[in-house]
Structure 1
Amino acid sequence: MTQEELLEQIYKKDSKAFTLLYDMYSKSLFGVIFNLLKDKEESEDVLQDVFVKIWKNIDSYNESKGRFFTWILNIARNAAIDKLRSKGHNNSLKNLSVDNFVNILDHNTSVTNKIDAIGIREFVKKLKPVCVRIIDLLFFRGYTQQEASEELAIPLGTVKTQNRNCIRDLRTILEV
């Protein structure tokens, strides 16, 4: 089934399409979510919420504004960031034992390998060093643009412009 056919079925709320959607994208979205949250159970919960959001909000997807995968990736990333900023998540971090930190480090390595396996980092490495740094902060580490501005000691407007330009450059690389 092509992506266009899949989208048609999703618009029609076909349950088989939902299963196919999950099978096609769950591993990639989980990797992005887990890379931000560093907790398997929370990441799985957020992943479920992401697929519900995709299903309920499919009518807001606009092909002319970007690729479907980019749209669902943004939903996943934003959901993970929302979870990170939530009061419940912050309180749960205070209660982690030392053993959990060892597990987090182990899981983080495997997620990094998964991201490398789907090739995202390889494409990002082809960009200018400033783009590599900005994309790393904003997309792989979950920084806000304001936080990236502070980390890089550059104006917020510059971060926004650079981010836009870097994403454009990345799209160009991906289209080749």
Structure 2
Amino acid sequence: MTADDISRLIGRVALGNREAFTDLYSATSPKLFGVCLRILNNRAEAEDALQEVYVKIWRDASKFAPSDFSPMSWLIAIARNHAIDRIRASKPDAVDIDEMVDLSDETANPEKEAILSSDRRGIERCLDELPEARAVAIRGAYLEGYSYQELAEQQEIPLNTVRTWLRRGLLKLKECLER
């Protein structure tokens, strides 16, 4: 289809001719879909955008003025601008910097490292004061991630005994750390 053919179709669409609109769609939709797809990079979005582009073309066909430029340029500009508008609409609004939450660095600094190191030494000291089997159970449950059942099987003791050891061991640890 030539540029003159497309110009004539747009002119007939401006007069409300549905058959001309169908012919215009058939002749130009692959190219306009390609433009939308290239910009939006999502097939479903591009299909939705193409539908909206043709609604605009139907509504604004009377604004088309034949000139030295190709009528396809006018149609592509509509598709391109619409696709860009969709991208802009999907982006979140900018937030005022004064409204931002404190974005402090949560990584450990030397002071935090010293405190954590001291806490670790205290916990290890207190674990050493517990009977060996109970210390092993606490380390297994809370540091290595074993389940109560796994600990019971490893130590060959009843499950309720593991629970009791852990509860009493944690109470002893708390007492020790508070000293």
Output the TM-score relative to the length of structure 2: 0.46
Max Rg structure: 2
Q: Greater helix percent: which structure?
A: 1
Output the TM-score relative to the length of structure 1: 0.47
Relative contact order, CA 8 A, sep 6+: which one is greater? 1
